[in-house]
């Protein structure tokens, strides 16, 4: 899976948006974001830069970037966000609502949490090769 720097930043912004939906940001959720960034081969300094730029990005900018991604990229991004929803072991209704909102705004494919987890595991195994 190839993603441009801005696309990674946009996905990171959306992940943080989901994390904040229930008012409880957990270590597991932040760790899940970092793990995905590491999967793309980013070094610590690059992860910090990506997070800083994600914090500076608006929701509208993130959505606009994600809407232009290819279908496989959108499937990946949607899967990552579903993974974030489930990462702390609590699939919160507020996070699910925000994920659904993002799916609609970004024109991501509809999928269940299980499908998202299956997709992310498949992509991460492929990237690890």
What does the pLDDT look like over 7-62, one tens digit per residue?
999 999 999 999 999 888 889 999 999 988 988 888 999 999 999 999 999 999 99
Q: Rounded to 5 degrees, what are φ and ψ at 2?
A: -105, 130
* CATH number for 54: 1.10.3680.10
Q: Is the pLDDT of residue 129 over 60?
A: no
* Total domain count, the chain: 1
Task: Identify the residue whose tokens are 């793309």.
Answer: 40
pLDDT value for 39: 85
Q: Containing domain of residue 106, as a range?
A: 5-128
Instruction: Write down the mean pLDDT value for the chain.
Output: 91
Q: Span 59-79, mean pLDDT?
A: 96
**Locus of tokens 């993002």:** 102
pLDDT at residue number 122 = 66
Q: What is the pLDDT of residue 123?
A: 61
């Amino acid at each position: 899976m190839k993603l441009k720097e801005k696309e990674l930043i946009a996905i990171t912004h959306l992940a943080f948006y989901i994390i904040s939906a229930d008012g409880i940001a957990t270590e597991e959720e932040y760790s899940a974001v970092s793990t995905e960034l590491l999967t793309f081969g980013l070094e610590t300094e690059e992860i910090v830069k990506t997070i800083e730029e994600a914090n500076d990005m608006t929701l509208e900018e993130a959505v606009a970037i994600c809407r232009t991604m290819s279908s496989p990229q959108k499937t990946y991004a949607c899967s990552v966000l579903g993974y974030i929803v489930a990462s702390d072991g609590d699939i919160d209704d507020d996070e699910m609502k925000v994920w659904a909102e993002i799916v609609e705004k970004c024109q991501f494919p509809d999928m269940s949490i299980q499908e998202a987890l299956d997709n992310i595991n498949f992509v991460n195994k492929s990237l690890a090769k």
